[in-house]
Structure 1
């Protein structure tokens, strides 16, 4: 069998595959044997070792347990998943992990940290993303910062059109809006909706994010089709902060926003009874 030789310095994914093969062979296990231990096929082990497939966190935790590698692969998989993000987005993702406060205005889609896997897939597919499974995994992995011991404070202002624009089918949107409502129960996440009736607002140029840090300058982030733009310029940060203040003032309160999300969910995406009383989409 031909074995592809990897350069472990080529990328985090190459390094992961190289180290997985090295650790497996050191343990005297075939791909099939390791697969049996970690509840997957030997073929999947081979695909990960040759960078055809991207490992998941669950897979990495099982490999660490099986090979006694003391969390090596569980630590490495974060770098691997982040490397699957578009190269122009990776610098932002690295700052997002360190932020203590995140404020975002989203004019088109739900903010990535609040997306469900199914909604994320539909959004990425609409944007013609390559390697869709890996892109979805990388986006969802960013959400780990919300589950850490000291998560950032996340303020989200969504244009109401985000609630009405369907990505995927009704079930996908129903699940996504339900997820937004469930997030309202967490004190570190606040979601407000800018209603359609607010025709004049200071963010007509589009979506943007404000990141604040413990000891570093604030950063503003925005993006277009093929690149992200970040700046710590104090004038730009001050201007965007003022714009965000106006957006929050014009948006519905957190409580009224939740009520609107619930109403749109039921009216647009919930199953409706048919003429005979049966549920129809």
Structure 2
């Protein structure tokens, strides 16, 4: 039977780039780093280094922040629920599933992506560990998405996690995705959704440059990449309207805070990326 397809199924070149950056950071397996990713990382390196020196941050430092915050929260949830189940959507070449299956073998961790990327990931994981579970392949915007939830036990808690995904959709499609996660996950013992989100870069001194870059990314990735939110309150309201009762917005400026300067968690603190911790 042919899988129903939506028009929102393009693999972004960013999956290769992020996969290689994670490998460079020493947190991934070499088989999850592609030659295409290496080329992209080499091209971006001078710009990234300039940003880190003169602006105080770059795309790769942002990747590290979001990856660290998501992993930290997932570890906390595993400590609270040793029988946790995890579904990572649009998993790409992320090392998260491989790493967590190694360190927490008691959890059921499954990854999901579109067919082409799922095949690439499946091949790499099987070379690393022949017992790696099958990478699921469904389209998030068709009814097939429900099938991904059916492989899990509803009597146990479930975490759905995504990274580098939700800014690629229009606000309407994003609402559809989050509503689907809340609806398909409502019968589980508990449901958590962890994701990163790029807010509008209104507090960043390079806001105009970032906006221009986002337009280029939108064209190159054949997506609807955009910034949808300015304040944490806007994010909470949006997530709650989509079905999640509890929503926490975590900003790196507070999460990695090293000084004693008081910061208002309800303000946009200038970070390029936030983490969203939502639950039912």
Using the size of structure 2 for normalisation, the TM-score is 0.24
Higher helix share: 1
Relative contact order (C-alpha < 8 Å, sep 6+): which is higher?
2
Using the size of structure 1 for normalisation, the TM-score is 0.24
